[in-house]
A and B are shown apart, each in its own frame.
Chain A
Amino acid sequence: MSTQQAEPESQEAPKDPEMQGAESPAAEKQKGGGMVDQTSTDASELEGETVHIKVFRYDPEVEAKQEPRFDDFHVPFEKGMTVLDAVMYARDEYDSSLTFRHSCRQAVCGSDAFFVNGKQRLGCKTQIADLEQPVRIEPLPHQEVVKDLVVDMDHFYDQMHTVEPYFQQEDLPDGELEEQRQSRENREKVKMSTRCIWCGACMSSCNIAAGDNEYLGPAAINKAYRFAMDEREDEEIKEHRLRILEQEHGVWRCQTQFSCTEVCPKDIPLTEHIQELKREAVKKNLKFW
């Protein structure tokens, strides 16, 4: 087993990925969403130190990576360093084949949701100093792994699209510059739901979604909530939306385990939104499938 050290000389020449140590050769790809939060380390204790990260590796095409494994990297710590910073450093300095999605680095693009120390988190928003070492970084559970930390998001996108995720109000006010009025209270009501960045953390943490591929899932239901509760859409379309949601694999599948709410990086009260839609469906006397 070889581990990468952050000695200045080792930063010069990127090392062969095949030389990376494999600490846990039989890494399990589909782990459930256990919610073990970690105790934090004081950042000042880490000054001048390296942090030890264990990163999941898998590539269906490269022989040495076909068997999933973990690679160890020791990355020099800097104050404010995030999980994303650490894996970027490992990639740029030690192994350029290390693969993950990332873009904005500020928690709005939703690309870098990983399974970090047993919890779904955005890499860019998670401080390394808050985590217990070694930091285990894995792809989102319950999604097919494409390579390393990259998962296939197609199913997630399909579920988002199932709920007709677009505003549907054809009856607009007269005059090009006339707005639809929306009360501050109503905007406040839908505000949290509009913050979703489609990162997929909630879906990955949901035990129900893991067992029922057709379950709409927390993100899609939240997207529907965003429209169903918006007073600018009229009653008819609201009813249509509730009919989509109350179907067999809709809101009633939710068992209020709160795992989605717990992992949401934008603090959206997903479970509460799902419950509210259940109540709406009951009030509208929609059939209980």
Chain B
Amino acid sequence: MADQKRDEIPPGTLYMLILRTLARGGEMHGYEIANAIQRGSEEVLQVEEGSLYPALQRMLIKGWVEAEWGVTAGNRRARYYHLTKLGREQLEQELSQYRRVNIAIEKILQSA
């Protein structure tokens, strides 16, 4: 694993990734979210896993996600997050913005 090339998550996209992951997976706790992102990017994206938690806190404040305590399969207490309506709207916004920017960058790269 150590030799595998990993990239940092581009700044500003962490929220989008978390929102997307939650949108797909429904209710998840932090560890599951981290794993899902890593797996979803085929191990390319490097999450400093802990930074998930400050991000989740901010998302709670903004009202994009809500959290409830539940129990994991291994019978441990875990906080499960799920998207709110506001979060879904935010995801839509971030996705479309991301795509717009992406297309713009692609265009420049192609024309170069």
Pairing of A with B? no
Point out residues on B near A: beta carbons under 8 Å. none
Task: Give A residues with C-beta under 8 Å from B.
Answer: none
